Chain A
Amino acid sequence: MNPFRYAQVRDSATAIATVHPDSSAYYIAGGTNILDLMKDDVLTPGLLVDITQLPMRGIDSTATGVRIGSLATMADVADAANVKSGFPAVSQSLLNSASPQLRNMATIGGNLMQRTRCAYFRDTSQACNKRTPGNGCSAIAGQNRGHAVIGGSDHCICTHPSDLAVALLTVDAIVHVRGARGVRSMPIASLYVLPGNTPSRETVLERGDLIEAVELPSSAHARRSAYLKVRDRASYEFALVSVSAALEINGGMIRTARVALGGVAPNPWRSHEAESALVGKPATHSTFVAAGAAATRGMRGYGHNDFKVVLTERSVVRALQTAGGAA
């Protein structure tokens, strides 16, 4: 790890005023992602600003849902009764992430901001447009088994590693951000940007912006949500494909549907195609099969990852069966 300066802050304003003007400054909380990247020299901050003392740890029930402070740990949110009952996919996505140790450390805000697990991004001897713009992408013609089958570009086909973000898409989560110009809020889907020509830009956040909270609005479909993760081993592994499904079913008919995918795109990926195949249809196996096929529309493999297209189709069906009941 490169030498760096360290400062602990006690209020958001100081944190933001410190990081906003300083391109070498990074926030640190759980540390599980940034220290990993620093050990590999992917990131070399001049200053780490420790935000762990900021008052953003609550997991509070509100009139409209649950508000999760961005410093709440993955473990605490996964175990929170109000999250488990109102947003089961969110709890399940966290329990399927990382290890018990890492979940005790890593925070919700950090989880949303974690960087891709693409091996080329994390190996400074390899070309990577995300790490070094204009450098080229080693994955497109390389070992791309773990890479994207939708949403990528000629410059980057990485996948987003967060399980949580996939589940948050299906419960309509709102991200509350404080920055140098004040506070703003956005749907989780608006947080991320696709790589396009600028893979180094991953979110709409500006330097110094701080995610303060994630708000989960209560809904019938959020209460009936499920998260399925398919991976190379049973635990402690990133997704090959994951699916979060949320359904509101009334009289056997699907009134509201949310389907989001992980492990297949540079962003947590909402499948509007799958949702369209569900809404207004009976909650039956054949409907779920149609939604699975719809979810793969526009997907293409790059060789080693071709299997992800079929795996997505089948995983969507299984996640919908879990959320909706086999019906």
Chain B
Amino acid sequence: MGFSKLSRRRFLVRTAIPAFVIGLGGPRLFPAAQAATVRIQARGPQPVPMTLNVNGTAHTLALEPRVTLLDALRERLDLIGTKKGCDQGTCGACTVLLDGKRVNSCFTLAIMAQGKKITTIEGLASGDQLHPMQAAFLEHDGFQCGYCTPGQIVSAVGLMAEKRPTDDVNVREWMSGNICRCGAYSNIIAAVQAAAGGRA
């Protein structure tokens, strides 16, 4: 569609112009909003062009406003490392980093993640060099079936950035947003402590 040639700033400027037409139905003002003569530019419910910066790469795609970041990653960008567990913010399998902070991608609309640096499990390694947290999970066998593991690792990377204490009680508390139904918690804690606390 040619949007990939646009910078983020130019894209935003263009979308802010009421006459902006993209061949997807164009912008529609909500009737009530028109009555109030406000300047909002409502988009959707049809697919809306948007740019997501994932693991250092800008992806331009058209998505309905209701598409979550989780579904955009998995279904449109084929980044299936981020898992869909509960899809309601209770399990943490979908954890990604937004501007370095861990969040649940199932509770994030893709359209609202624009302009932010999105990091998924696929973006942690440098080439073949695993992120220290990934290496620690391998070393300490911090998983069983593996389904929660990408979320656990990304969450633990967030914990490292937050510089949380890494004693047992604190790791349990600060990793509580990630559920492991296999119950691999003791090894997960050991892995987090090894990578985040420098404890072998």
A interface residues (Cβ-Cβ under 8 A, vs B): 1-7, 9, 14, 17-18, 20-22, 25, 28, 30-32, 35-36, 38-40, 46-50, 52, 75, 98-102, 104-105, 234-236
Task: Tell whether B140 is near chain A: CB-to-CB under 8 Å.
Answer: no
Q: Which of A75, A98, A101, A235 has the most CB of B within 10 A?
A: A101
Partner among B89, B112, B162 whose Cβ is within 8 Å of the Cβ of A52 = B112
Q: Total A-B residue pairs with C-beta atoms closer than 8 Å?
A: 128
Contact B43 A101 (CB under 8 A): no
Q: Give min CB distance, A80 to chain B, whole Å.
A: 14
Residues of B within 8 A of A17 (CB): 33, 36-38
Q: Which of B35, B38, B104 has the largest count of A CB atoms less than 10 A from its CB?
A: B38
Q: A275 to chain B: closest CB distance in Å?
A: 31
| B contact residues around A39 at 8 Å (CB) | 87-88
Cβ-based interface call for B92 (8 A): yes
The answer to whether B30 touches A47, judged by C-beta atoms less than 8 angstroms apart, is yes
A234 with B172, Cβ < 8 A, contacts A32-B107, A52-B112 known: yes
Q: Are B30 and A46 in contact (CB under 8 A)?
A: yes
- Per a CB cutoff under 8 Å, which of B33, B92, B109, B172 touches A99? B92
Chain B residues lying within 8 Å of A234, measured Cβ to Cβ, are 172-173, 176
What residues make up the interface of B, taking CB atoms closer than 8 Å to A?
Answer: 28, 30, 32-33, 35-45, 48, 64-66, 68, 87-89, 92, 95, 98, 101-104, 107-109, 111-112, 155, 158-159, 162, 172-178
Cβ contact within 8 Å between B92 and A101: yes
Flag if B158 contacts A31 (CB, 8 Å): no
Looking at the assembled complex, report how far the CB atom of B9 sits from the nearest CB atom of chain A, in whole angstroms. Answer: 15
Contact B174 A100 (CB under 8 A): yes
Write out the residue numbers on chain A whose beta carbons fall within 8 Å of the beta carbon of B177.
98-102, 236
Known A3-B64, A4-B66, A234-B172; judge A36-B107 contact (CB<8 A): yes
Q: In whole angstroms, what is the CA distance A102 to B108 when docked?
A: 10
* CB-nearest residue of chain A to B100: A104
| 25 A/B residue pairs, CB under 8 Å, sorted by A | A4-B44, A4-B45, A4-B65, A5-B42, A7-B30, A7-B33, A9-B40, A14-B40, A17-B37, A18-B32, A18-B33, A21-B36, A35-B107, A36-B88, A36-B89, A39-B87, A99-B177, A100-B159, A101-B104, A101-B177, A104-B103, A105-B103, A105-B107, A105-B108, A235-B172
- Give CA–CA (A198, B51) in the complex, Å: 44
User: When chains A and B are docked, how far (Å) is the Cα of A2 from the Cα of B66?
Assistant: 8
B156 CB, min distance to chain A CBs, angstroms: 10
B110 CB to closest chain A CB, in angstroms?
10
Q: Which residues of A contact B104 (CB under 8 A)?
A: 32, 101-102, 105
A31 touches B30 (CB 8 A): no
Contact B42 A7 (CB under 8 A): yes
Rounded to whole angstroms, the CA-CA distance of A23 and B197 in the bound complex is 51
- Chain B, residue nearest A22 (CB): B32
| Distance A101 CA – B155 CA, assembled complex (angstroms) | 8
A36-B107, A100-B158 given as contacts; is B40 within 8 A of A49 (CB)? Answer: yes
Contacts of B68 in A (CB 8 A): 35
**Known contacts A4-B65, A5-B30, A236-B176; A101 and B38 CB within 8 A of each other:** no
**What residue in chain A is nearest B68 (Cβ atoms)?**
A35
Q: Which residues of A contact B45 (CB under 8 A)?
A: 3-5
Q: How far, in whole Å, are A31 and B106 apart by their CA atoms in the complex?
A: 10
Beyond A1-B66, A3-B66, A6-B111, 11 additional contacts (C-beta under 8 Å) are A4-B65, A5-B45, A7-B40, A14-B38, A35-B68, A50-B112, A100-B176, A101-B104, A101-B158, A102-B89, A234-B172
Residues in B neighbouring A25, C-beta threshold 8 A? 30, 32
Q: How far is the CA of A9 from the CA of B35 in the complex (A)?
A: 17
Closest Cβ neighbor of B108 among chain A residues = A31
Closest Cβ neighbor of B87 among chain A residues: A39
Q: How far is the CA of A39 from the CA of B67 in the complex (A)?
A: 11
CA distance A30 to B107 in the complex (A): 8
**Which residue of B40, B44, B92, B173 contacts A18 across the interface (Cβ within 8 Å)?**
B40
Contact assessment for B44 and A6 in the assembled complex, using a CB-CB cutoff below 8 Å: yes
**A195–chain B nearest beta-carbon distance, Å:** 25
Q: Which A residues touch B30, using CB under 8 A?
A: 5, 7, 18, 22, 25, 46-47
Q: Which residue of A lies closest to B159 (CB)?
A: A100
